[in-house]
Amino acid sequence: MWTSDLTMMMLEGIRDTLLMTLLSTLFGYVLGLPLGIALTVTDQTGIKPNGVVYKVLDVIVNIARSIPFLILLILVMPLTKAIVGKTTGSAATIVPLTLAAAPFIGRMIESSLKEVDHGVIEAAQSMGAGTFTIIWKVLLVEARTSILVGVTIAIGTILGYSAMAGVVGGGGLGDIAMRYGYYRYETLIMIVSVVLLVLLVQVFQTLGMRLAVKIDRRKR
């Protein structure tokens, strides 16, 4: 039957999942944001076109995105061990999660920034704005709604990946669902953990979209 120990475990699961998801998203953006900016700026139609740089980044991103997450999880174990000191638990999962998220985030940033009207960029150039100013004060500002929608999508996706990491002892709700629900046939625990995961995704999705609409000045 349901015990207070189980409630404790679930609460810890939620905490671990949130921690993994949010930190991985954060680190994912630390890597993915510059990547996306570089992809936008160096593209043929960008403000500093550079065919070689664009192609190299493009290929790296495509390769990284095509590796299945479970394989990546195992592939980067040596790196995880070097950074975190172990390969299981929620802290260790942050490393592969970040690496899986970064190229995907880079692509989303690229697509958001490319939505910015070229005319506005041209106007900034005509005022004497340099590349850095245009990135910082035009691209990122004008694309902020789209970027925030991207963050919402990224959190949802990373949360799903974090649950997958439960297969190799990754920690969090996914881990609980695997260990109790799948291996020990404790269906109730599995259902509860899955429902909690669904709820978390819902909460992030709703909050993210609301905020995105709120900061958008294009509509009255």
Partner 1 sequence: MAGMIEVHNLCKTFVTSEANVEALHDISLSIQAGDIYGIIGMSGAGKSTLVRCLNFLERPTSGTVEIEGSDLSTLTEAQLREKRREIAMIFQHFNLLMQKNVIDNICFPLVIGGMKKKDARERAAELLEIVGMTEKAKAYPSQLSGGQKQRVAIARALAANPKILLCDEATSALDPRTTQSILQLLKEINRQYGITIVIITHEMSVVREICSHVAIIGEGHLVEQGRVFDIFSHPKTAEAKELILKGSGTERRTLEGHQKELMKGKCCIRIVFSVNSSFEPVIANMVLKFGQPINILKADTKNVEGIARGEMILSLPDDRDMQEDMKAYLTERGLAVEEVNGYVDE
Which chain residues interact with partner 1 by CB under 8 A? Answer: 117, 119-120, 122-130, 133, 137-138, 141-142, 144-145, 215-220
Q: How far is the CB of 142 from partner 1 (least distance, A)?
A: 6
Burial of 102 (C-beta count, 10 Å sphere; 0-12/13-18/19+): buried
37 or 173: CB nearest partner 1? 37
Instruction: Please enumerate, as own/partner, the contacts of 148-153 that have beta carbons within 8 Å and a separation of 24 or more.
Output: 148/208, 148/211, 148/212, 148/215, 149/112, 149/208, 149/209, 149/212, 150/105, 150/108, 150/109, 150/111, 150/112, 151/25, 151/29, 151/208, 152/204, 152/205, 152/207, 152/208, 152/209, 152/212, 153/108
CA distance 107 to 111: 6
Judged by DSSP in three states, 207 sits in helix
78 or 119: CB nearest partner 1? 119
51 or 85: CB nearest partner 1? 51
Q: How far is the CB of 36 from partner 1 (least distance, A)?
A: 18
Q: How far is the CB of 125 from partner 1 (least distance, A)?
A: 6
91 or 121: CB nearest partner 1? 121
Q: How far is the CB of 140 from partner 1 (least distance, A)?
A: 10
Q: How far is the CB of 57 from partner 1 (least distance, A)?
A: 22
Q: How far is the CB of 61 from partner 1 (least distance, A)?
A: 24
Please report where in the chains the tokens 């989303």 appear, as a residue: 108
Q: Are 180 and 13 in contact (CB under 8 A)?
A: no
88 or 125: CB nearest partner 1? 125
63 or 123: CB nearest partner 1? 123
